[in-house]
A and B are shown apart, each in its own frame.
Chain A
Amino acid sequence: EPEVTQTPSHQVTQMGQEVILRCVPISNHLYFYWYRQILGQKVEFLVSFYNNEISEKSEIFDDQFSVERPDGSNFTLKIRSTKLEDSAMYFCASSRTGPTNYGYTFGSGTRLTVV
């Protein structure tokens, strides 16, 4: 069964450093998402991406965050200057026609630890 692949599975970074989290969505999917889950809290939406642009973003997704689909297969989330409170599990998800019709496939997540 097709999978959404995320790398790395775990990343430790110093506060203030830039990190890039990578995702390879399912090849015929058109809609891409990042969600995150701070330890002990609910999963929360960060951003959705369609047709090479952001279609929606949350209040969390400030200027420190950016997303990119650089080569038609990868989908990346960049955090420019990490803060301690960015420590969380980050999930990439993709959907063929939008999750209201077709549902999501989630990646297994990247656990980001900012020290």
Chain B
Amino acid sequence: KNEVEQSPQNLTAQEGEFITINCSYSVGISALHWLQQHPGGGIVSLFMLSSGKKKHGRLIATINIQEKHSSLHITASHPRDSAVYICASRESYNTDKLIFGTGTRLQVFP
């Protein structure tokens, strides 16, 4: 079964800083998901990626299939980026069930 680990658990930054959140997984499943959870609890899908890099605005997600590692980067961080960022992957090859990391709580101060 896949295991998903994230680091760090908590992250504080000053506005404008470059942020990196890491995710590693144990089984090389086809796709990894990055999600954002707002303080109110709602979840938004940010990226699904299976290779290389994806960019959306100030968010960049990369994945290294060989190392089973993915990173989420935020450039020019802003207080509105404060949220919990979660990575998730399929539990195994024969299921669509996602398993989730514990999340990284990011706080960006002005």
**Secondary structure class of chain A's binding surface, majority of residues:** strand
The answer on a CB contact under 8 Å between B33 and A42 is no
Minimum CB–CB distance for A45 against chain B, Å: 5
Residue in B48, B97, B102 whose beta carbon sits within 8 Å of that of A45 in the complex:
B97
A75 lies within 8 A of chain B by Cβ: no
Interface residues of B (CB under 8 A from A): 30-31, 33, 35, 40-45, 48, 86, 88, 90-91, 95-103
Q: How many pairs of A and B residues are in contact by the CB < 8 Å rule?
A: 64
Closest to B90 in A: A100
> How far, in angstroms, from A91 to B86 measured CA to CA in the complex?
14
Interface residues of A (CB under 8 A from B): 31, 33, 35, 37, 42-45, 48, 55-56, 58, 89, 91, 95, 98-100, 102-109, 111
> How far, in angstroms, from A32 to B95 measured CA to CA in the complex?
14
The residues of A that contact B40 with a CB separation of less than 8 Å are 108
